[in-house]
Structure 1
């Protein structure tokens, strides 16, 4: 996964949690110099929520000089195509459709899209075209939920 360093996570997560949000995940794109913080809460996230978290996180990062050089800080909701950063996220969204991209090919493929059928230890089971694939968690480079537009149109969030 394209997660931020442990140092950045250790600085940012307590701030987000202390403000009453779930810290879904943190990414740092070294090439584009973008630090992304995904936040959530049961009733959803507003632009004001993102602004408040950005202000607090940005202040701490500046004081701690946690990122060398220039960078952009983006704080947002995880969106309909929610990224899955932690094993607990996979457990939470069993039954949802996911899109996975692996670091290395498994059975000749790196991309998988289909229902998340289960999690057993650190093994993720995804069904693609009627065939089940068991994928080691640590082989996943990126993982996202596939948007459920029909649920979104009814005002429901993933997993409701």
Structure 2
């Protein structure tokens, strides 16, 4: 079974629980590291997620996965916060990040660059406006390969 299919199945399983308990499903990863597979579920909520929240979600999802058994291989389930460098997976995530520092990669070079790090000034008309140093860059949303919050020192 493909990684994408597994992610879709897990998202479908956990989404009703997330909505019922006012959690946000940020991302799902199914990856192989060394000889082990990991199913990682990243969650958040207003005010932040804590260990008890992660435990409740993990118990719920473990039971659902055990009952439906959609993943053919053995794996480790991890439920956690997306962390300080939270991925911005959906356009809604990008919109919420306006005014924050972000790290963006693009599929093809824009202004000779494929990576941008700076303050997200706006996200309007499917275009990000980023201030990096003394320059500003306009990045079409459909050119974004990945986006996340950034920690600037």
Class of the TM-score when normalised by the shorter of the 2 chains: 0.7 to 0.9
The 1:8/1:46 distance shift into structure 2, 3 A limit, reads: same
Name 2:127's counterpart in structure 1. Answer: 123
The reply to whether residue 16 of structure 1 matches residue 23 of structure 2 is: no
Unaligned regions of 5+ residues in structure 1, if any?
Answer: 150-160
The answer as to whether partners of 1:23 and 1:40 remain within 8 angstroms in 2 is yes
Query: Aligned to 2:73, which of 69, 76, 96?
Result: 69
Secondary structure at 2:71 match in 1:
coil
How big is the alpha-carbon RMSD for the aligned residues of Structure 1 and Structure 2?
2.4
1:60 equivalent in alignment to 2:52: no
CA contact (8 A) 1:81 1:144 kept: yes
Pairwise CA distance, 1:69? 0.9
Give the TM-score taking structure 2 as reference length: 0.80
**Unmatched segments (≥5 aa) in structure 2:** none
Tell me how far apart the structure 1 counterparts of residues 142 and 52 of structure 2 sit (CA, whole Å): 35
Corresponding residue SS for 1:134 = strand
Equivalent residues, number: 147
Superposition deviation, residue 148 in structure 1: 6.7
Q: How does 1:30-49 map to 2 (within 5 A)?
A: 31-32=32-33, 33-49=37-53
Task: Using structure 1 for the length normalisation, give the TM-score.
Answer: 0.77
Report deviation, 1:22.
1.7
Cα distance in 2 for partners of 1:8, 1:121 equals: 31
Please, which moves more after superposition, 60-69 or 109-118? 60-69
Q: Distance in 1 between matches of 2:14 and 2:95?
A: 24
Asked if 1:133 is matched to 2:137, the reply is: yes
